[in-house]
Amino acid sequence: MTIEDLGTRRTYDVRTYGCQMNVHDSERISGLMEDAGYVRAADPEAADVVVFNTCAVRENADNRLYGNLGHLRPTKLKHPGMQIAVGGCLAQKDRGDIVKKAPWVDVVFGTHNIGSLPALLERARHNEAAEVEILESLEVFPSTLPTKRESTYAGWVSISVGCNNTCTFCIVPALRGKEKDRRPGEILAEVEALTKEGVLEVTLLGQNVNSYGAEFGDRLAFGKLLRATGDIEGLERVRFTSPHPKDFTDDVIAAMAETPNVCHSLHMPLQSGSDRVLKAMRRSYRQEKYLGIIEKVRAAMPDAAITTDIIVGFPGETEEDFEQTLEVVRRARFSSAFTFQYSKRPGTPAATMPEQVPKAVVQDRYNRLIALLEEITWAENKKLVGKKVEVLVAVGEGRKDERTGRMSGRARDGRLVHFATGDLAPRPGDIVETVLTYAAPHHLNADGEPLSHRRTRAGDAFEAGRTPKLKGVSLGLPTVGVPAPLPATSGGCAL
């Protein structure tokens, strides 16, 4: 039974925390809800159903969830028909404890059974009791589910789910399971369908994208997949996140350099520059291997923008270890970095390791790392002043600032660019070519008259208020539609 069978159109709101995997899963949750007859709430505070898609990796994830659930309790008491559902990694971890701590929650579902959500909501309504369903392994590959995409011009395409690594700071493998790979034909069919909808940019998504293919016996599959995207008409930008240094091979670098629509941007998680700490983290590469990859990428693509993840204060980290991290930062010349102060995550080996670093020491090291990174990213951005760039105007970032007359978007290398519009009226999804005039540590400005403005089908769709909601399908057929792009992170494994 769907909500439409009940003769009413209940509203929903999805609230997402965490990595790109969760963002993409939330699009599937929205697709499932609308497929079952719900409509997105115009006012999220008045939604009949609120779904929390949670993260168990980031610091204070538990407190954030239960705090938000507490804020919703008075609203639910005033509206007895309201339902609250909790899914994602924290739901997979805490299971029935969520209902014990917050008895007003109606549904708890895990990372492996997103597709059960509408049925669980109906069952909870009928039985007037909480429903908790957590599967231990993947029920169906998520691409088979209906998806309501959030963008007309850029989107995630999952090439795998799960992770086979055993990093001691990360709980993701326990919550998302072993890696499961999609077949190349299915992935390419989805990408091609997206471009037919007007999508210009696709990000290939997995917990460890460059181990893709191991499940079906082809360890060169990821490089082949990148090259194959070059044959898809209308696809202008291809990105991927996130690779693991231990699996990063020369054929992938060659595919990036030789495939015109693959962007010269790379997110390569470092975590630590110390070999001793990397060993304790169970990161199966060392400093010189990591820097060797960076050197090869820069030799093949001198204009490559390389970003990373760094954890400060991992258990046992000494000042000498931290200095090694700073040394890698100096040598790698990252264009940006996602930086984290280590915090214990229950269920991870690192949480019980001795020699936990005092908070004051971690904070001091973190501050020094940020200062160095800002110095480097600013210097690297200054080198780009005077260069011509192609900017894909972005939602949110694409709103015009009335004071400055600028709009914003992303260059091909992923950098954020604020650009003057002159007499032009670009829309999110359009392409603007302009010249950079100013550099800051985290963005670039282009204050001159744009050189050109290309209107796109994605811009037309945005202007018309059209965002695709199409059925997910199995048997190698694609799921169509697209989300708005986010800055790269390492799919949860970085934190």
Quick one: tokens of 215? 């499940």
Closest CA to 350 of 168, 493, 174: 168
Q: What is the DSSP string of 15-26?
A: EE-SSHHHHHHH
Helix (H/G/I), strand (E/B), else coil: 293: helix
Percentage helix, strand, coil for the chain under 3-state DSSP, each rounded to 5: 35, 20, 45
200 touches 392 (CB < 8 A):
yes
Round to whole Å and give the CA distance between 116 and 131.
11
Neighbours of 475 (CB within 10 A): 6
Residue 3 neighbours by CB distance under 10 Å: 23
For residue 238, what is the DSSP state?
E
d(CA 239, CA 232): 14
- The pair of structure tokens assigned to 396 is 């949110």
Check whether 263 is labelled as a binding-site residue: no
Place of tokens 């989300």: 483
| 357 SS3 class | coil
Residue 493, annotated as binding a ligand: no
Residue located via tokens 């090259």: 227
Query: Is 55 part of any known ligand binding site?
Result: yes
**In the block, which residue shows the tokens 């799960």?**
162
Phi/psi of residue 186, nearest 5 degrees: -70, -40
Please report, in angstroms and rounded to a whole number, the separation of the first and last CA atoms in the chain. 40
DSSP symbol at 485: P
Element (H, E) at 365: helix 359-382
Q: Check whether 163 is labelled as a binding-site residue.
A: yes
Q: Which residues of 330-369 are buried (b: 16+ CB within 10 A; e: fewer)?
A: eebebbbbbebbbbebeebbbeeeeebbeeeebeebbeeb
Residue 13, sorted as left (phi over 0), alpha (psi -120 to 50) or beta, turns out to be beta
Q: Is 9 within 8 Å of 3 (Cβ atoms)? A: yes
Distance CA 178, CA 469 (A): 29
Q: Yes or no: say if 160 and 212 are a contact pair by the CB < 8 Å rule.
A: yes
Contacts of 148 (CB under 8 A, 6+ apart): 27, 30, 31, 34, 467, 468, 469, 481
Dihedral of alpha carbons 404, 409, 411, 413, sign? positive
Known binding positions for [4Fe-4S] cluster: 19, 55, 89, 163, 167, 170
Known binding positions: 19, 55, 89, 163, 167, 170
